[in-house]
Amino acid sequence: MEKSLALIGFGEAASTFARASQWASQAVGWDIAPARRSAMLDEDISAAASAGEALAQASIALSLVTADQALAAARDYAPFLKAGALWCDMNSVAPETKRAAAKEIAAAGGSYVDVAVLAPVHPAGLAVTLLLSGPHANQAAAALSDLGFTNIRCVGAEVGRASTIKMVRSVMVKGLEALTDEMMAAARAAGVADEVLASLDASDKHGSWAERARYNLERMETHGGRRAAEMEEAAKTLSDLGVHPTMTAGTITRQRAAGERGASARKDKAA
């Protein structure tokens, strides 16, 4: 059966989407990590032996690699795309990175789409908010809807607009997590964590700060490395806008350190 959908990269996002969908009959996946190929089979997704095989028949490809590999994936795999095939770049990278990727895809005859994923994919699945921009955004919106995505909005015909919204928003979302990490480190060292959290509860009625702290720290320790890479792209975005990314630079450091701390703890637990 023709495989009209290619999943390029099969990490958390791709596996979550696959699990929530009915793509098995039409999807094929590719990931440079051999272990990920068995994960595809677990979700009834065909595992390609190469990127070229994955893209040979695809009319739409979802690029779901890591932020630091988004441009390389577009550059390296563009030659394998069918003419006019949609390359939906769902990676969290700076607008300039996406514009550079768009040039690679266009030069090979493909149709590039800037897609910003505005929330964690789990547990939202196919209901996660997607912002689309670029000259092929409307075409991609229809195709993604056919795949089962239910919360799609086109925000402009310019590649980079969707990712600009995502990157600037990330300064706040990931910045708050990093501030939480720094605050809790100091509060615990001083033995005043309960008092600090209670004082925040008293001034903020939108949920328990203890719950927020646990959630933010867990997200950072689980995904800090990936989020640090995303925030490096956010820093590029601010610099391109003439804004010095002072706090964003700090966010990068805290996210990466928390990710390393979490990885170390998981390693120790496994041992």
3-class secondary-structure state, position 238: helix
Lowest mean pLDDT among 1-10, 222-231, 253-262: 1-10
Which carries the bigger pLDDT value, residue 204 or residue 78? Answer: 78
Q: Which two tokens stand for residue 35?
A: 């272990």
Q: Which fold has domain 163-270?
A: N-(1-d-carboxylethyl)-l-norvaline Dehydrogenase; domain 2 (1.10.1040)
Q: So where are the chain's domains?
A: 5-159, 163-270
pLDDT at site 270: 85
Rounded mean pLDDT, 94-113: 98
**Tens digit of pLDDT for each residue in 180-196?**
999 999 999 999 999 99
- Angle subtended at Cα 120 by Cα 80 and Cα 206, rounded to the nearest 5 degrees: 160
Q: How far apart are CA 96 and CA 75, in angstroms?
A: 14
Position 60 pLDDT exceeds 60: yes
pLDDT-based confidence at 2, cuts 50/70/90?
low
pLDDT at site 264: 93
Long-range contacts of 45-54 (CB under 8 A, 24+ apart): 45/7, 45/10, 45/18, 46/3, 48/6, 51/8, 51/76, 51/77, 51/80, 52/77, 52/80, 53/28, 54/3, 54/6, 54/7, 54/8, 54/28, 54/29, 54/30, 54/80
Mean pLDDT of the chain: 94
> Would you tell me the crossing angle of helices 161-190 and 209-240 to the nearest 10 degrees?
130
Q: How far apart are CA 71 and CA 18, in angstroms?
A: 23
Residue corresponding to tokens 């956010």: 234
Q: Which fold has domain 5-159?
A: Rossmann fold (3.40.50)
Rounded mean pLDDT, 212-229: 93
Secondary structure (DSSP) of 85-128: -EEEE-S---HHHHHHHHHHHHHTT-EEEEEEE-S-HHHHGGGS
3-class secondary-structure state, position 60: strand
Rounded mean pLDDT, 144-160: 97
pLDDT at site 1: 44
Q: How far apart are CA 167 and CA 227, in angstroms?
A: 11
Q: Which two tokens stand for residue 231?
A: 């925030």
